[in-house]
Structures are given as C-alpha cells and as structure tokens.
C-alpha cells in the first residue's frame, strides 16, 4: 500500500495540476483497494484509447476527404505525418509506461504507475489530436459537408 501511495505521489508531482492548462485530473485517486484502483484506471485508459481512436480517425477522414480549396495542397503530407506520429506515439507510450512500471520493481505500485502513466500520456495525445484537428476543421470538405461529424474537433476551441 505504501508503494501505491508513492506511485500516486510521484505521478501527481509529475502531472500538471488539475485544471491547469486544460489538464485532466488523474482518475481513481479516491480511497479504494488496489484491485478497485486497477479496475478504475484500466477503465479510464480504455475510455481514453477510444477517444484517441475516434479523434484520430476523424482527423484522418477529414484529411482524406480533401481540402475545400485546391490551393491547400498540404493535406496528403499532413495525413502521412499524422499516421507516422500515431504509430510512433503508441510505441513511445508503451515503452515509457513500461519504464515507469519497472521503476517500482515488483511492488504493488508498478501496476498503478503503469496505469497512471498510460492515462496521463493518453490525455496528452487527445489534446494533440484535437489541436491537430484544428488545422483540418475549417479547410476539410468533410467538416464543411458534415458539420456535425466534426463537432469533437471543436471541443479544443
């Protein structure tokens, strides 16, 4: 239990304060058993992963749909860069969080450290995808023709 508290303390010190710069507070910090906390953080990470997938595919479809103005020729390059960054980001997130987990040794804090790391880095990726989506939002035929479909990208504004 001490290791779990240490993991939470280290992660809370490394994470921006809740509400600062739009940071999402770390979930599952209420008093609960380690098992309940593991389930809670796994659920939070799964929800964040679904949000990442939704935003990534929305931005990708916006880029594939093309620009409203033929002079905007950067869409194919943005699409390639987005795909490459998504692949690289997933590898980075997994390796980073395994390193965080390993830093706790075999103690109970390893699972919590891994989970909170996954959540924190996933929240950063959601913010990035929303911001990246802003470069597509007003110039994409998808967002022009299916305005409601692009609503999740407007959340960053």
Q: Which residue has the tokens 């869409």?
A: 75
Question: At 144, which helix (H) or strand (E)?
Answer: helix 141-145
Tell if the pTM clears 0.75, that is, is over it: yes
33-66 residue pLDDT tens: 878 888 899 999 999 999 999 999 988 888 887 7
Pick from 127, 122, 153: nearest CA to 138: 153
Proportion of the chain in helix, strand, coil states, percent, rounded to 5 = 75, 0, 25
Write the pLDDT tens digit of every residue in 130-146. Answer: 988 887 777 788 777 76
Provide the β-strand partners of residue 67: 140
Strand partners, 140: 67
pLDDT at res. 127: 93
The 10s digit of each residue's pLDDT in 69-92 is 766 667 788 888 899 999 999 999
Q: For the chain, list the domains and their CATH numbers.
A: 37-154 (1.20.1270.180)
Instruction: Give the Cα separation of 134 and 38 in Å (integer).
Output: 34
| 63, 141 contact by CB (below 8 A) | no
Cα 28 to Cα 131: distance, rounded to the nearest angstrom: 27
């Amino acid at each position: 239990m001490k290791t779990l508290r240490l993991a939470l303390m280290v992660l809370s010190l490394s994470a921006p304060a809740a509400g600062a710069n739009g940071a999402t507070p770390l979930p599952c910090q209420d008093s609960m058993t380690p098992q309940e906390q593991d389930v809670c953080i796994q659920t939070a990470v799964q929800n964040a992963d679904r949000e990442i997938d939704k935003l990534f595919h929305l931005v990708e479809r916006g880029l594939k749909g093309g620009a409203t103005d033929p002079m905007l020729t950067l869409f194919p390059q943005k699409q390639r860069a987005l795909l490459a960054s998504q692949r690289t980001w997933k590898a980075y997130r997994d390796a980073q969080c395994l390193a965080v987990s390993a830093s706790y040794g075999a103690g109970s804090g390893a699972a919590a450290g891994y989970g909170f790391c996954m959540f924190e880095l996933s929240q950063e990726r959601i913010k990035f995808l929303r911001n990246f989506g802003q470069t597509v939002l007003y110039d994409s035929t998808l967002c022009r023709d299916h305005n409601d479909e692009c609503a999740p990208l407007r959340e960053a504004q």
